[in-house]
Structure 1
Amino acid sequence: LRAVSVSSEWTEGTQRENKSRVIVDASSSHSLASTITDEIKPYREKYFSHKNVSFKHSVSDGGNDGELILAIEADLASASNFTAAQWCATWSIQPSSGSPEEVTLEGTVKVHTYNYEDCNVQFAIQNTFGPKSGVEGTAFAILKQISRFDQEVFDGLTTEHQEASSTGLKSLRRILPVTKTKMEWSVLAHRFVHALEEHTNNAATAE
């Protein structure tokens, strides 16, 4: 799939004022380009309506004849929850050779989540979908199929999180001392520095 550049004119201030930004290729003569933009609002409200999420999408002509590229990016930043995440999807929409009223849909979804509350836990996944032929060539039907693919990603994220909580993180706990107390990393770092200073002072005195 051809990469589609999305405008970086996105500041913290504009995120708060306008969470949805659309870029439509002015040179695109594809009949779906404008209708996808019209239909994407309910899609955004269903999946990316959280107050801390900024949402952008672009629609442009692809490299093949009649191909349309839909790029979607959503970014979550929640300092109060010590969480950040990014969702990047690129979809290729091509007319089906067998039927002019149908399209073939394929794409890639990349997700990166990051939690940094007393830890550093990150998940990075990539899912490839399609080619899915026989999709009705309307913006509504295309976004409905994309929503089905998205749901598979959400389900996979839930499974990964559950497996990490039940197996991955527990395996790390086995090699750590069982203190049954919360690890205070800042206090531990302070004590470590203090111990190093004492060791340095003692070594200097001994000399």
Structure 2
Amino acid sequence: MSTPPARSILLASPPGQFDLILEDIQSIAPKSLSEDVIDVSALRAEWAATTGHAIVETSAADDTTDESNGCIDALRKAMDDYVNLKFTSPGVRAAHRVKQEDGGETITITTYAERIDLANHSVGSWNACYAVNPSLGHISGSVSITAHTFENGGNVQLHSNMSLDETNAECITSNDNADKQLIWAKSIVKQVQAWEDKEVMDKLADMYERMNNEYLKSLRRVMPITRTKMDWNVLAHRVRITLGEGHDKDKLKHQH
């Protein structure tokens, strides 16, 4: 059976807009959200899990359900410091989770941040996931970024997914002393920061610089024969139009 359109639309909701889109669908096509077609509560939970938003709704106590492990404790502390340092812009909500996977062989670090500013028609989210194998000394990861801006019927979304190839890291075991585990954890976070600065932020900055001359070239007005770009000073154009209208009226008076 094909996926109901309403379900697909809701799962594709930009950050902070699941419930707003839900209201729109309810007003347009309420039957598409009937209980026998869609379990909205389960769908909201699925959306939160797939986008990473669920992390910011989870209390810190829920992140300590794993058996106590020195390596995990050290990573949580190091990530606390990193998130508190890097995700401090006004309006940003950020959280992270460090958990054991694969029977304890792998530690997963997940970081999620979002900035919802619907009043200014702008939202964005950051979802990063890193897999660390302490005994083998390996770390790999991925980062997903979503940005959405909308105004007066316009709707522009950016979705960027970046894979970070596995690289070597220091080895550690839960039997090592706490000082060594903390040094190891800081080295892991240092690799995370290097990836996010060089492989993510620098590449995004380069893309934004090239966007004006490459990606958006086909969407804007071609430069006129004067080779002078359009002056988008709205106030100046309004004054020019007003003066022009006054001049035309005077001409009509003289003609009569």
Q: 1:165 aligns with which of 212, 215, 218?
A: 212
Cα shift readout 1:168-187 (whole Å, capped 9, x = no counterpart): 22311147xx986689xxxx
Q: 1:127 to 1:9 in 2, by over 3 A?
A: closer
Tell me, in whole angstroms, the C-alpha distance in 2 between the residues paired with 1:133 and 1:9: 28
Task: Within 5 Å, give how 1:171-182 maps onto structure 2.
Answer: 171-174=218-221
Alpha-carbon distance in 2 for matches of 1:43, 1:83: 25
Residues 134 and 171, structure 2, Cα contact 8 Å, conserved in 1: no
Partner of residue 197, structure 1? none
Match of 1:141 among 180, 183, 187: 187
Deviations 1:23-44 (A, max 9, x none): 4242234322111221223311
Query: For residues 153 and 179 of structure 1, what CA distance do their matches in structure 2 show?
Result: 33
- For the residues of structure 2 that align with 1:46 and 1:64, how far apart are their CA atoms? 31
Alignment counterpart, residue 158 of structure 2, candidates 123, 131, 137: 123
- TM-score, L = length of structure 2: 0.55
Provide structure 2 residue ranges, at least 5 long, that are not aligned to the other structure: 1-48, 173-183, 223-228, 235-256
Native 8 Å contact 1:72 1:89 kept in 2: yes
Correspondence list, 1:1-207, <5 A: 8=54, 22=60, 23-63=62-102, 65-97=104-136, 103-117=137-151, 119-135=154-170, 137=172, 138-151=184-197, 152-174=199-221
Q: Following superposition, which runs of at least 4 residues in structure 1 exceed 4 angstroms of deviation? A: 178-183
Q: How far off is 1:112 after superposition?
A: 0.8
Query: TM-score, structure 1 length as denominator?
Result: 0.67
Letter in 2 for 1:168: Y
Quickly say closer, same or farther: Cα 1:57–1:111, change in 2 above 3 A: same
Please state which structure has a larger fraction of its residues in strand.
1
Q: Deviations over 1:110-134 (max 9, x none)?
A: 1111122454322211111121113
Q: Tell me, in whole angstroms, the C-alpha distance in 1 between the residues paired with 2:53 and 2:73.
A: 18
Residue segments in structure 1 that go unaligned for 5+ positions in a row:
12-19, 98-102, 184-207
Report the residue type matching 1:155 in the other structure: D
Corresponding residue of 2:11: none
Please report how far the alpha carbon of residue 61 of structure 1 lies from its aligned counterpart in structure 2 after TM superposition.
0.9
CA distance, structure 2, for counterparts of residue 7 and residue 78 of structure 1? 16
CA RMSD between the two structures: 3.1
Query: In the superposition, relative to structure 1, how do residues 93 and 10 fare at CA in structure 2: closer, same or farther (>3 Å)?
Result: closer
Aligned residues: 166
User: Which protein has the larger Cα radius of gyration, Structure 1 or Structure 2?
Assistant: 2
Equivalent residues of 2:56, 2:95 under 8 A apart = no
**Structure with more helix by fraction:** 2
* Counterparts of 2:59 and 2:91, CA distance in 1: 15
